[in-house]
């Protein structure tokens, strides 16, 4: 008998010890969960059971959890928490909303940490060209908010909560960038993103017969119209970019139908900020089109001419409301011979007030939520985070632009080209949309945006790997 073959070496003893440790940890966890479920309400028990199920799915298949995340971005209910701190004219005083995808992101992040602990070969955060710009902007927000708390501008935990919400958007990017490994994954995630947009359109269109302005699903009693308008323009840019790049008849028919379908709820939002962003999106798509730009220009002119006649009267009235508001008790600014409506006047006045107040603390601003609520992105960045925030914010924007253009310039894969066009045109839209909305802090715009950015960065990495190999990756052909 060979004693060496029957003996247990150090490796087997260690493996056995690790198995017993893992078994003991699972037993303790199950005991704790069962105790919680026994004494807690049924809803708490159901939520815990669901969270455990999602955790298992995320641990076993990160790609499956990504599909859940993409679907939940616009199709998840909200949980209102009320005001955190401060008067009603501040960001914290306006209340906080937690959505299902917020909790899903927490579970996914925890599952990812556990997965990286079990599989040592998986890195915690993959190095990408956006890591440093993201870290710089996040650090500026944290530092500004910390200084705001020290100086008394930020009240309680309000600023910390909102900073965590901002960082949550970046978590979406890192989860995608860390887990996308091939072209097929990018294709499937793109399909799920567009499928979600289709479902959102159907739900929004169903609101039209009831009258009023349409909003995204689960937006509460008073929907955020700018949110739906911005989301449709972003996903519409992706659909249009793919339509310009793919040559198969079936995909082009589907994408054409989706783009046309999106126009119905888009017009129903009656969001003037979104309307103003549309021409810039189309101009960006025209510039990025590699062939036959004259056809794009001709279509734009024809659609403009048809739109002046066929657009519903409610859309025309809403667009002209800027200069035709009528009598009101609210203050209205006058630019030349044109008297602006009270809403636009308030936004312009907030820009002026923000610039004046920013001079009191120009380096780091008042901190996130340390200033009154502003319904415009750029004065909010300036007054809340100061020069540090403005520099790092636009540095991040330029870095995203650079990644999108690099992929657009280098790739020959139609899927990658369409995604890069969608990102570049969508980013252009976001910048214009930010003139009249807090675009870069709206969760239902930022999560799809950072999902798209993660797909583009992953595609660029795959493209570089293909170029460094034999010159042609069959997956990209």
pLDDT tens sequence for the chain (477 residues): 444 444 444 444 444 444 555 556 556 656 665 665 555 555 555 555 666 666 666 667 777 778 888 888 887 776 655 555 555 555 655 556 666 667 777 777 777 666 666 655 555 677 899 999 999 999 999 999 999 999 989 887 788 888 888 888 898 898 888 888 889 999 999 999 999 999 999 988 988 887 777 877 776 655 566 788 889 989 999 999 999 898 888 999 999 999 999 988 888 888 888 888 888 888 888 888 877 777 777 777 777 666 666 666 676 666 666 656 655 655 666 665 666 666 777 777 778 888 899 999 999 999 998 898 888 899 999 999 999 999 999 999 999 999 999 999 999 899 999 999 999 999 998 899 888 888 898 888 898 999 999 999 999 999 888 776 654 443 333
CA distance 115 to 283: 44
Residues 47 and 171 in one domain: no
Asked if residue 79 lies in contact with residue 145, where contact means CB atoms within 8 angstroms, the answer is: no
Q: Say what the pLDDT of residue 162 is.
A: 87
**Is residue 265 included in any domain, yes or no?**
yes
pTM strictly above 0.75 = yes
Residues 178 and 124 in one domain: yes
Q: What are phi and psi of 472, to 5 degrees?
A: -150, 110
**Is residue 341 included in any domain, yes or no?**
no
Residues 44 and 99 in one domain: no
Q: Say what the pLDDT of residue 394 is.
A: 96
Residues 132 and 197 in one domain: yes
Residues 42 and 88 in one domain: no
**Is residue 420 included in any domain, yes or no?**
yes
Residues 159 and 48 in one domain: no
Residues 183 and 233 in one domain: yes
Range of the domain at 37: 31-57
The neighbour count for residue 49, using CB atoms within 10 Å, is 12
Residues 46 and 84 in one domain: no
Q: Which residue pairs from 92-97 have beta carbons closer than 8 angstroms and sit at least 24 positions apart in sequence?
A: 92/155, 92/156, 92/158, 92/159, 92/162, 92/369, 93/373, 94/373, 96/161, 97/220
Q: What are phi and psi of 80, to 5 degrees?
A: -75, 135
Residues 262 and 235 in one domain: yes
**Is residue 339 included in any domain, yes or no?**
no
Q: Say what the pLDDT of residue 268 is.
A: 84
Residue among 440, 409, 414, 364 nearest 140 (CA): 364
**Is residue 398 included in any domain, yes or no?**
yes
Total domains present in the chain: 2
Q: What are phi and psi of 88, to 5 degrees?
A: -70, -15
Domain endpoint, select from 39, 57, 75: 57
> What is the three-state SS of the chain?
CCHHHHCCCHHHHHHHHHHHHHHHHHHHHHHHHHHHHHHCCHHHHHHHHHHHHHHHHHHHCHHHHHHHHHHHHHHCCEEEEECCCCCCCECHHHCEEEEHHHHHHHHHHHHHHHHHHHCCCCCCCCCCCCHHHHHHHHHHHHHHHHHHHHHCCCCCCHHHHHHHHHHHHHHHHHHHHHHCCCHHHHHHHHHHHHHHHHHHHHHHHCCHHHCCCCCCCCCCCCCCHHHHHHHHHHHHHHHHHHHHHCCCHHHHHHHHHHHHHHHHHHHHCCCHHHHHHHHHHHHHHHHHCCCCHHHHHHHHHHHHHHHHHHCCHHHHHHHHCCCCCCCCCCCCCEECCEECCHHHHHHHHHHHHHHHHHCCCCCCCCCCCCCECCCCHHHHHHHHHHHHHHHHHHHHHHHHHHHHHHHHHHCCCHHHHHHHHHHHHHHHHHHHHCCCCCHHHCHHHHHHHHHHHHHHHHHHHHHHHHHHCCCCCHHHC
Q: Say what the pLDDT of residue 281 is.
A: 86
Q: List CB contacts of 243: < 8 A, sequence separation 6 or more.
A: 252, 255, 256, 259, 418
Residues 43 and 174 in one domain: no
**Is residue 344 included in any domain, yes or no?**
no
Residues 203 and 282 in one domain: yes
CA distance 322 to 319: 7
112 to 159, 180, 330, 437: CA distances (angstroms) = 26, 14, 52, 33
Asked if residue 96 lies in contact with residue 81, where contact means CB atoms within 8 angstroms, the answer is: yes
Asked if residue 415 lies in contact with residue 255, where contact means CB atoms within 8 angstroms, the answer is: no
Q: Say what the pLDDT of residue 8 is.
A: 44
**Is residue 464 included in any domain, yes or no?**
yes
Q: Say what the pLDDT of residue 10 is.
A: 43
Residues 66 and 53 in one domain: no
**Is residue 136 included in any domain, yes or no?**
yes
Residue 340 token pair: 């602006």
């Amino acid at each position: 008998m060979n004693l060496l073959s029957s003996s247990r070496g150090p490796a087997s003893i260690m493996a056995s010890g690790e198995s017993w440790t893992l078994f003991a940890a699972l037993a303790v966890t199950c005991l704790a969960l069962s105790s919680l479920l026994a004494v807690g309400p049924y809803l708490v028990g159901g939520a815990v059971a669901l969270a455990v199920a999602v955790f298992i799915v995320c641990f076993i298949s990160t790609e499956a959890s990504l599909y859940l995340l993409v679907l939940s971005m616009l199709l998840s209910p909200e949980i209102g928490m009320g005001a955190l701190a401060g008067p009603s004219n501040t960001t914290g005083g306006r209340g906080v909303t937690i959505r299902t995808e917020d909790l899903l992101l927490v579970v996914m992040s925890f599952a990812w940490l556990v997965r990286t602990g079990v599989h040592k070969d998986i890195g915690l955060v993959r190095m990408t060209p956006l890591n440093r710009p993201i870290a710089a902007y996040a650090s500026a927000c944290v530092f500004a908010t910390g200084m705001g708390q020290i100086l008394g501008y930020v009240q309680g935990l309000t600023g910390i909560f909102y900073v965590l919400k901002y960082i949550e958007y970046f978590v979406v990017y890192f989860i995608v960038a860390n887990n996308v490994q091939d072209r097929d994954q990018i294709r499937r995630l793109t399909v799920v993103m567009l499928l979600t947009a289709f479902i959102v359109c159907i739900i929004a269109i169903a609101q039209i017969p009831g009258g009023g302005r349409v909003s995204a699903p689960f937006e509460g009693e008073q929907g955020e119209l700018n949110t739906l308008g911005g989301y449709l323009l972003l996903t519409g840019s992706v659909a249009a970019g793919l339509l310009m790049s793919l040559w198969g008849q079936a995909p082009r028919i589907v994408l054409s139908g989706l783009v046309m379908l999106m126009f119905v709820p888009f017009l129903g939002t009656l969001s003037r900020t979104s309307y103003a962003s549309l021409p810039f999106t189309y101009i960006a798509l025209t510039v990025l089109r590699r062939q036959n730009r004259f056809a794009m220009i001709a279509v734009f002119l024809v659609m403009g001419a048809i739109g002046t006649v066929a657009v519903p009267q409610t859309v025309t009235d809403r667009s002209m409301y800027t200069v035709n508001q009528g009598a009101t008790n609210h203050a209205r600014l006058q630019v030349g011979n044109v008297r602006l409506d009270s809403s636009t006047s308030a936004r312009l006045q907030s820009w002026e007030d923000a610039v004046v107040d920013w001079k009191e603390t120009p380096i780091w601003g008042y901190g996130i939520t340390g200033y009154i609520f502003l319904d415009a992105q750029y004065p909010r960045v300036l007054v809340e985070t100061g020069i540090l925030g403005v520099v790092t914010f636009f540095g991040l924007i330029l870095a995203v632009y650079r990644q999108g253009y690099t992929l657009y310039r280098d790739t020959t894969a139609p899927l990658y080209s369409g995604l890069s066009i969608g990102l570049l045109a969508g980013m252009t839209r976001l910048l214009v949309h930010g003139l009249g909305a807090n675009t870069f802090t709206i969760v239902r715009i930022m999560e799809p945006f950072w999902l798209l950015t993660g797909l583009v960065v992953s595609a660029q990495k795959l493209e570089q790997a293909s170029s460094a190999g034999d010159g042609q990756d069959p997956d990209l052909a």
